[in-house]
Amino acid sequence: MRLPFSILLSCFLFSPKGGLADAPYDQVQDNPTWSHQNLDDVRADKYFHESTFAEHYDGRFGDRKLNYDERRGHLTALMQTYISTMNDIGAETWIMHGSLLGWYWSRKILPWDSDVDAMVSEQSIHHLAAYHNMTVHTFNLHNDDAEDNSHRSYLLEINPHYVNSSLDEVNKIDARWIDTTTGLFIDVTTLRRNATADALGIDGSMMVKDRHHYNYDDIFPLRHTTFEGYPVKVPFMYADILIEEYGEKALSDVYFENHIFDAELREWRPLRYAELNLYQNDGAVMDAHYWAMSIASLYSPD
């Protein structure tokens, strides 16, 4: 499902040749005279710098941390516009990490999350860097709240260190999809063949620069499903991947981060103060754990 063409502008405002030049931020920022980038991190060659006020914001565009309700709406739009654009470009991408966990539970971003995580194939990151680096995509978003209808722009920025296929903790993020209004972003990492394993004759070993390792069959073939109302792809062995990263309870505990999972609505809702006291009782949490096991079958891929 794509955004209707009548409301999708998806304009490429600029696309500098060479791919490594800085974006002309005076054309992108609404307020180009200030920046809240955290430049205290002086590690050599670090490309992406987060904001001074929160780690999941780009300080060139955002100037404050959004409240709970604001953030959820902007993250939903961030995900929908990313998916729509990658589908139009033809880039192979799928959701991972906390976003994959949110998909498992409710097909939505976890309400306490402040970012989104996606992964691309190595072929796709080369394609994005060659043809779409530093492009701005503008959407006319229509929401139920008429006051929130607005044009929003998103910057696709590729880390020039994406060509380095070895472990790189400083530049583990290969690209970002950045909301130029709020500074919120999607972290994009690249799945690559593990050259060390290949040299040892080990077939199907894959790696990411953030030290995550996978087997080819863990990821492929990708499953087709939906997330935030749009068609996305998820890894084939999504449950095993989530358990490896977060533990078995992440797929069954219905109380987390002061939220409770509502099985009827299939969504996480924040606990009120009285409920919070109730579910902080160990017995209640344990009961919720076993209750959740009975509904786990609801959350297989669409």
Rounded to the nearest 10°, the torsion over CA 165, 239, 222, 198 is 40
* pLDDT-based confidence at residue 169 (cuts at 50, 70, 90): confident
Q: What's the rounded Cα separation, in Å, for the pair 86 and 92?
A: 7
Percent of the chain surpassing pLDDT 90: 59
Q: What is the pLDDT of residue 141?
A: 80
User: Which of 149-163, 184-198, 288-302 has the least mean pLDDT?
Assistant: 288-302
Flag whether pLDDT at 292 surpasses 90. no
Structure tokens that stand for 150 in this block: 């607005």
Pairing relation of β-strands 230-234 and 255-256? unpaired
Per-residue pLDDT of 221-254, as tens digits, reads: 999 999 999 999 999 999 999 999 999 999 999 9
Q: Which residue has the higher pLDDT, 12 or 143?
A: 143
User: Which of 41-45, 66-70, 163-167 has the least mean pLDDT?
Assistant: 41-45
Per-residue pLDDT of 2-27, as tens digits, reads: 343 323 444 443 333 333 344 555 66
Q: Which residue has the higher pLDDT, 262 or 6?
A: 262
Backbone angles phi, psi at 115, to 5 degrees: -150, 180
Percent of the chain surpassing pLDDT 70: 74
Per-residue pLDDT of 52-87, as tens digits, reads: 877 899 989 988 999 998 999 999 999 999 999 999
Most confident range (mean pLDDT) of 16-30, 187-201, 267-281 is 187-201
User: Which of 67-76, 226-235, 255-264, 287-296 has the least mean pLDDT?
Assistant: 287-296
